[in-house]
Amino acid sequence: MQLTNVSAIVTGAASGLGQATARTLSDRGARVIGVDLDVSDAPAIDNVTYVRADVTQEDDVRNAVAVAAESGPLRVVVNCAGIGPSERVVGRKGVHDLALYRRVVMINLVGTFTVMAISAEEIARTEPLEDGQRGVIVNTASIAAYEGQVGQVAYASSKGGVVGMNLPAARDLAQYGVRVNTIAPGIVETPMLATVSAEFRANLASGVPFPQRLARPSEYADLVAFIVEHDYLNGEVIRMDGALRMAPR
């Protein structure tokens, strides 16, 4: 499927993976609706329109989808919005904050599902392309879904859920010509990591077999574009991690 003259939604578009993806898709001809909880500081990018939305709120998501549909046929949706706080099941201060656990799962998993489901409803209304294809949804998991580290129980739970729903979602949406794939990134050089020391980042990179560096957001964005354009790729979870397998801590 080509990206020219189609509408695309990218969540978490104000920074990190989402921003890189919004830029790449717009560079390849898509009209992008960049969704984020706070878009006040989002950079101006050609063919990217920002919409403030909470991915866990149905009305917000439906509004973003409506804006995207007005820009052209909605055919691409990329879920990048997420949070990753760290806390142990039982720590020095007692049991894991239960409200925090619910919040992580709500944003990372329920939010992803909400955007996917409501967007798929709109994609299903578009005119079919070759082989009956109408669109593609790319969700974001993490290698923590497979090798969650100490303190990642909430994050790993939420990302494991994203992995778990990938294949049944692809099967559910096959009748509408909508493909569903998931990317599970390793350690990516996002704004979150920019706050730590160069020494700490170098230590993280040293654990990656090859290439021995952190992933770049642009590499995630390029993989999204590849998935969109590869019409036979469906129901797959792709690890983008330099062969990293996370240790317990």
Please identify every residue annotated as catalytic.
Answer: 155
For residue 31, the cross-strand partners are 7
* 3-class DSSP assignment, residue 173: helix
* 3-class DSSP assignment, residue 94: strand
**Number of Cβ within a 10 Å radius of residue 84:** 17
Structure tokens at 6: 């189609």
DSSP state of 11: E
| Nearest partner of 227 among 117, 71, 120, 75, judged by Cα | 75
For residue 181, the cross-strand partners are 138
Structure tokens at 123: 């994609």
